[in-house]
Amino acid sequence: MKRLAVFLIALAAAAAAYAQQVPIPQGADLVDDFGDWSLTLFFDFSGGYDENLIVNGGGGLQYFGENFALTAEAYLRKDDVYSGTSANTASGGMGGLYFWMESGGIAYRIGNLFLRAGRLPHYDYVDSPYSLFVNGDGLTADLLEAVYDDGRFLYSTRWIGLNHNSDAVTTVYDDYTGVPGIDYDNTGFPERGANLHTFAARFGDMTFGIQDAIIYVNRYFDFEYFISPIPAYIIQDALRQGGRPWTASGEENNIVGIFWTWDRPDGWKLNAQWLLDDGNLHWLAPSLFPTNQPNKIAWTAGASKETPYGRFSFYHAGATKYTFEPSYGQPGREYGYAYFPDVVFRLKGSVTDTAIPFETMMLGYRNGENNLAFLGAWNGEAAGFGLGATLEFTVSGSKSPANAWQEYNYNPDNGTEFLNESPLEWKVVAAVGATRRVWKLDLYAGVALGYVLNELELVASGEVADGTYTIDPYNEIQIWRPSNTDRFLWAATVGGRYRIKIK
């Protein structure tokens, strides 16, 4: 009974470890924090456990003035996910600890123009844990952004740094012939970057917008995509068409979408978003469009309501198979809509591949392709505690943001596919959490519990022919595929942030 009581107390004081509504402090994204000047020093320490022990400690400095903002936040972590084996120490490591730069950047606002630059968490314009163009978890990346917003019209251009000066190699990036081995002359993952444009018009409480994203390979930053509001599809075709002296080379992938939001004065907030990665008109005129390539689409919708009893929210999202993937699998065409061009990495000189956690892979929709998701959430206050609870249900099939066509070497020409395999992964996770301010100390704690059927696991890529699964030595990027593994999921965390604020 004593253990049960302790568990129930922890459950009541939990922070949503698996959900967007996590009431745990995170790095400033330098968007909406301008105002009266303030300088804050803070020190943060947390510990947790899911599959591995997680220790996180550090701190930083934040300044927010009327026109200028600055954030510098860094931590030492130990979670058995990444390591400090290349640390600049006599022993070549720090006992499994590694530095994590949560946020480091500056921002400036003058009139209707807002500028920011640095390594910062970033979000979509659509405020949703299932936002499609930018991962709703607010992952950190190198950013350069300019936003104009006069209350009626908004235009944003954002550069997102992906891979630069990479030292990580894998089987694929060791040897392009498909023969595993270590190539000490390899330069790691290729240079990759992304740009996102957002156009929005407001009509009363409603906002309608268009979003336009591009991923490019073999360069980290592209000035034209950043500075020009011309649709990326037109820029891409104009620069790559031959017969002109300014023809550019390189592999790129354009994604477009639309969104709608309605922030009502009665406390309701509604939003919807739709994304098109690729499509076809085969269904309309098969004789004119004989190729039945899949429609790569994603969608999301959400609603929340402020009440005297807290904020209640519900979100839904989905994405068809192959959405966010590249269209070709050969080296040099690593333009999947993801932070990395492979799902594993190894350090030079190592023979061990380490999986990159899927939750840190996706540049866009956090659950990736071939997925259906539902999330309910509640946030409120009671007895001086900030409280939150979530319940999420997801269904997933095979997926890989880095491997074009997964088990095939080419477009299988099977039309649109969506959760049409067996088995599928079925997962449900419930999480609850709380925060409490004690003098200058913000305390937080949390737990999440769940169960997964046919859990996704990384497997070698290959082609299915006549019921036989054959490994493809020339397409070695692994894919996530539902397995025969069922298990309970759980995670817990506790921590505190001490803040010294000067005004």
The structural domains of the chain, with segments of one domain joined by +, span 2-502
Sequential DSSP letters for 188-233: -SPPEEEEEEEEEEEETTEEEEEEEEEEEES-S--HHHHH--S-HH
Identify whether 423 is preceded by a cis peptide bond (ω within 30 of 0).
Answer: yes
**How sure is the predictor about 113, in pLDDT bands with cuts at 50, 70 and 90?**
very high
CB 217 within 8 A of CB 334: yes
Place of tokens 């990395």: 340
What topology is assigned to 2-502 in CATH?
Porin (2.40.160)
Residue 10 pLDDT greater than 70, yes or no: no
Which of 411, 370, 399 is CA-nearest to residue 458? 399
> What is the pLDDT, as a whole number, of residue 244?
73
> What is the pLDDT, as a whole number, of residue 9?
32
Residue 462 pLDDT greater than 90, yes or no: no
Residue 23 pLDDT greater than 70, yes or no: no
Percentage of the chain beyond pLDDT 70 is 80
Which of 503, 496, 357 is CA-nearest to residue 42? 496
Sequence-distant (≥ 6) Cβ neighbours of residue 59 within 8 angstroms: 41, 42, 43, 44, 73, 74, 75
pTM higher than the cut 0.75: yes
Percentage of the chain beyond pLDDT 90 is 51
For 46, the 3-state DSSP assignment is strand
CB 10 within 8 A of CB 119: no
Distance CA 175, CA 168 (A): 13
Sequential DSSP letters for 324-373: T--S--STT----SBS-SSSEEEETT----EEPPGGGTBSSSTT-SSEEE
User: What six digits make up the tokens of 458?
Assistant: 């990384």
CB 458 within 8 A of CB 479: yes
Residue 71 pLDDT greater than 60, yes or no: yes
- Over the stretch 188-217, which tens digit does the pLDDT of each residue have? 788 999 999 999 999 999 999 999 999 999
Considering 38-42, 94-98, 257-261, the range whose residues carry the highest mean pLDDT is 257-261
Q: What would you report as the CA-atom Rg of the chain, rounded to the nearest whole angstrom?
A: 23
Residue 173 pLDDT greater than 80, yes or no: no
> What is the pLDDT, as a whole number, of residue 331?
62
Q: Which has more confidence, 35 or 113?
A: 113
User: What six digits make up the tokens of 453?
Assistant: 């059927």
Question: How high does pLDDT run on average in the chain?
Answer: 83
Q: What value does the mean pLDDT take over residues 435-439? A: 89
CB 187 within 8 A of CB 491: no
User: What six digits make up the tokens of 315?
Assistant: 């979100």
- Over the stretch 342-374, which tens digit does the pLDDT of each residue have? 898 877 667 778 889 888 999 999 999 999 999
Place of tokens 């550069």: 159
Beta bridge partners of 45: 57, 496
Residue 284 pLDDT greater than 80, yes or no: no
For 123, the 3-state DSSP assignment is coil
Distance CA 363, CA 368 (A): 9
Residue 50 pLDDT greater than 90, yes or no: no
- Over the stretch 214-239, which tens digit does the pLDDT of each residue have? 999 989 999 999 999 999 989 988 88
Q: What value does the mean pLDDT take over residues 25-50? A: 74
